[in-house]
Structure 1
Amino acid sequence: MRKYLQKNLVLALGLTLLISACDREEQVQRIIDTDAKSRLDSTLQAYVNSGNVAGISALIFEKDEEVYFNAFGYADRENEVPMDRNTIVKIYSMTKPITGTALMTLWEEGKFQLDDPLEKYAPEFANMKVYQGVDESGNMILVDADRPISIRDITRHTAGFPNRPDIPGLSEVMAEKDARSFENTLTLMAEKMGSTPLWFQPGAQWEYGLSVDVQAFLVERISGIPYAEYVQEKVLNPLGMAETRYFLPEKDRGRFAAAYNRSGEGQLTRIPDSTAHVFNYNHWPLTPGGFGLTSTLDDYMTFARMLVRKGEINGTRVLNPETVELMATSHLPDSVTERSWLPSKGRVGFGIDFAVRTDPPQGPEEMNGVVGEFFWDGAASTLFWVDPKNELVAVLFVQLFPYDGIGLHKNFRDAVYGKFIPDSAD
């Protein structure tokens, strides 16, 4: 009888623990549930099936656990190399948040303040002139800058650096200076930018441009260490991001995704590797902060998870929690009403190298997302975001030009969060 009672007691205890575990699981509400995984698979597969992308992959962590990975199509369609978890892609402007992280390690050390004039550390940017148009002879009309460019300006794209090919007079000067030539060092780049007039007064408007390249230069200037070495030592190595780099050695090029140009529905043309990969197949003097790195899904996810974990991962702290919060807070005042194409990203402001969602979407046509998320993307249509509210981080890899002309980012977000429902978007 005693053995019978003991046996039943063990069974009852086991059943209680099982029920308790199930209850706990139900209490943990997941964004990425079975329905979301199905939406994600069908959304990404459809882009490959339609011929609008050659290959695509995505990785999502929620509450510090991997909840989704899949890859569809080809990294190299012509040679039938599948898109995979270890595929290497060019992340283009997703380099920028990594640069911002490197810069803010110096801020934490008290090496500068955000509202310091840039010229305090970089006299190349002293006494800047500001473009006011051209006169009847086509000569530029210039005035003195109202105030110096601040470091905060170069972290939020309000410095005034020109970045368009159609500004009469000024665009010609930009082309002649060619500040972003791969043959320039960061110092030479800064000298050329500093001798080029600003397009608008510092702080007057938001305009994407070369600001983050200047951040890399500033890191180099303040630290006294070449930028590529500094970011390796302070960010990439501590995070174990061995697959994130400027130069790609021969042994790893078989995993390097090809780049494709889309000219119409289902019409993809491979961009020759000699063009698409010219930066990463060679060692160049320029080590830009705004573009240039290659990475893998897992490498970039490590970086994103560090951010959602407020600066620490795997026992390694890269930034303090207060610093991550500062970076993920919009620094754009309401007075900055001219924001170029930034509103196309959703109802966002801009922090330190991230767009920051300030308001929920108001309708299904708007970009989906959660207030408080911060994110950025890349020229080849890559995307990542950090959603602190749901402890969710997502990385989407593809190599598609021109930048997301197929609604990929919106549909991917809709697949993650579900379609917009009024009064529940936040």
Structure 2
Amino acid sequence: MTRLPAYDRPEEGGFDSGRLQRLRDHMAGMVEQGRIAGGSTLLMRRGRIVRFDTFGGRRLGDPEPLPRDALFRIYSMTKPVTSVAAMILFEEGRWTLDDPITRYLPEFSDLKVCVDFNAGGDMRLEDTARPPTMRELMSHTAGLGYGLFDHHPVERAYKADGVLTASSLDELARRAAAIPLMFRPGEEWFYSVATDLLGLVVERISGQRFGDFLHERIFEPLGMRDTGFQVRAEDLPRACVLYADDGAGGLRPATDTFGVPVHDLSRPPPIEGGGGGLISTAVDYARFCQMILDGGALDGVRILAPATVRLMASNMIPEPVLARSHPLRLLPFNPAFGFGLGFSVMHDPARMGSLEGRGTLAWGGGGGTWFWIDPEHDIVFVGMIQRVADPVSDEFRRKARVFTYQALTDAGPFEELS
């Protein structure tokens, strides 16, 4: 039971069946080559499933084929969900984008900023002129670190101080607030713990545990019955094993993702992190994406107003930042490709050498999952594998886009550029 309507044939959704086979062949090849244990791809057009394929199994050598309702760790695909949760409270008038985060996170009231550092990693610090705003928190321009990378002393401090391994969201905030900002708020983009802190803001404003808020305000209304921070005992047989590169061309069960231990899905996580902790299925996450594509509503249930979705889909990285490159960025943001409130935003696909439509929203997770939402072509795509993000999974995501759009046959007539 997919809980989503489907076309009888891809051609009804404007896709060439033969050309879509390239995507299926690539996925199957990844399994046959031992590069992934299994995976799912779910392609939707105009609110209906065009193709929904599964490959391999939940674990290497599994004789049972991967079920359509297989459970995946979606890691940073939690971030758009957290952003929607925050915008629900935004619509209730509980906060504004230009509020200082100290209104909800007073731990950050006495911040320092790293303005320079030497080869040994010693930082020169100054006072910040102001705290980050909620807009900057949601767009990763607040100056916070993450502790997942090793190319800046602030990042190394986040890892050394165990920010991501804190025992609670409150403790995570305290540890992060004790570390200097990497740059002054609004002056650069850096992937960070910002969305974990946003989850804490949701808790403090709503008065609810973060996971309870998500279930009550998003998952239950949207019918995302398999999404949450923990897997029920009866559903554990549907959970996929997370793998990592074994260094010899094969796979090994992952024990950590970028230094953070992989938690047991049958137990509550140490924290219900807004930045990456949810488990979901391809169908559940497609329902979430379709809600965004449809302007905040699905199956007669409204989560957000269309104007709020448009706001989330607007670039929030300041223009001077987009005008220059920076080695610390996770992605090559520029005037053609920015970041909104929880998603990357494609403004000029031709300039970026991409086939997707203008306004496409996207993100991925550290376990190899990814999605995009293309409003110009009315497309939702969700891909689910369980391989810790690396060049192989990055290639997988890139080819999935190419193989999808080369099969799209009714994207509109070609027009000569004048």
Give the TM bin, normalised by the shorter chain: 0.7 to 0.9
Instruction: Answer yes or no: is the 8 Å Cα contact 2:15–2:407 preserved in 1.
Output: no
* Alignment: residue pair count: 396
Q: Structure 1 166/410 Cα, relative in aligned 2: closer, same or farther at 3 Å?
A: closer
CA distance in 2, matches of 1:31, 1:50: 31
- Per the alignment, residue 298 of structure 2 pairs with 313
> Residue 215 of structure 2 aligns to a residue in which SS?
helix
Q: 56, 65, 69: which is aligned to 1:73?
A: 56
4+ residue segments displaced more than 6 Å:
135-138, 423-426
- Per the alignment, residue 323 of structure 1 pairs with 308
CA distance in 1, matches of 2:240, 2:15: 27
Post-superposition CA distance 1:28-49 (Å, at most 9, x none): 9844332343222222222222
Post-superposition CA distance 1:269-325 (Å, at most 9, x none): 23369x975253322451100001000111111101111111111111001111111
Instruction: Answer yes or no: is the 8 Å Cα contact 2:254–2:388 preserved in 1.
Output: no
- Specify the code of the residue in structure 2 equivalent to 1:395: V
- Per the alignment, residue 133 of structure 1 pairs with 116
- Specify the code of the residue in structure 2 equivalent to 1:331: M
Residue 102 (structure 2) pairs with residue 119 (structure 1): yes
Root-mean-square deviation (CA, aligned residues, Å) is 3.0
Could you tell which deviates more after superposition, 250-259 or 71-80? 71-80
- Per the alignment, residue 4 of structure 2 pairs with none
TM-score by length of 1: 0.85
Q: Structure 1 212/41 Cα, relative in aligned 2: closer, same or farther at 3 Å?
A: same
Q: Structure 1 96/172 Cα, relative in aligned 2: closer, same or farther at 3 Å?
A: closer
Q: Structure 1 204/356 Cα, relative in aligned 2: closer, same or farther at 3 Å?
A: same
What is the correspondence of 1:173-322 to structure 2 with a 5 Å cutoff?
173-183=157-167, 185-263=168-246, 267-271=250-254, 277-322=262-307
Post-superposition CA distance 1:302-358 (Å, at most 9, x none): 101111111111111001111111111111122113451312899520001100001
Q: 376, 382, 391: which is aligned to 2:363?
A: 376
Instruction: Answer yes or no: is the 8 Å Cα contact 2:186–2:318 preserved in 1.
Output: no
- Specify the code of the residue in structure 1 equivalent to 2:397: H
**Identity value in percent:** 32
Could you tell which deviates more after superposition, 202-211 or 328-337? 328-337
Q: Which runs of no fewer than 5 residues in structure 1 stay unpaired?
A: 1-24
Q: 14, 34, 52: which is aligned to 2:17?
A: 34
Post-superposition CA distance 1:129-179 (Å, at most 9, x none): 001334799653210113220000111100111235535654453234322
- Per the alignment, residue 44 of structure 1 pairs with 27
- Per the alignment, residue 403 of structure 2 pairs with 415
Q: Structure 1 342/233 Cα, relative in aligned 2: closer, same or farther at 3 Å?
A: same
User: C-alpha displacement at 1:369, in angstroms?
Assistant: 1.9
Instruction: Answer yes or no: is the 8 Å Cα contact 2:72–2:384 preserved in 1.
Output: yes
Larger radius of gyration between Structure 1 and Structure 2: 1
TM-score by length of 2: 0.87
Q: Which runs of no fewer than 5 residues in structure 2 stay unpaired?
A: 1-7
- Per the alignment, residue 5 of structure 2 pairs with none
CA distance in 2, matches of 1:396, 1:425: 34
Q: Structure 1 315/351 Cα, relative in aligned 2: closer, same or farther at 3 Å?
A: same
- Per the alignment, residue 342 of structure 1 pairs with 331
Residue 145 (structure 2) pairs with residue 162 (structure 1): yes
- Specify the code of the residue in structure 1 equivalent to 2:375: P
- Specify the code of the residue in structure 2 equivalent to 1:180: L
Instruction: Answer yes or no: is the 8 Å Cα contact 2:263–2:269 preserved in 1.
Output: no
- Per the alignment, residue 390 of structure 1 pairs with 377
> Residue 206 of structure 1 aligns to a residue in which SS?
coil
CA distance in 2, matches of 1:119, 1:319: 26
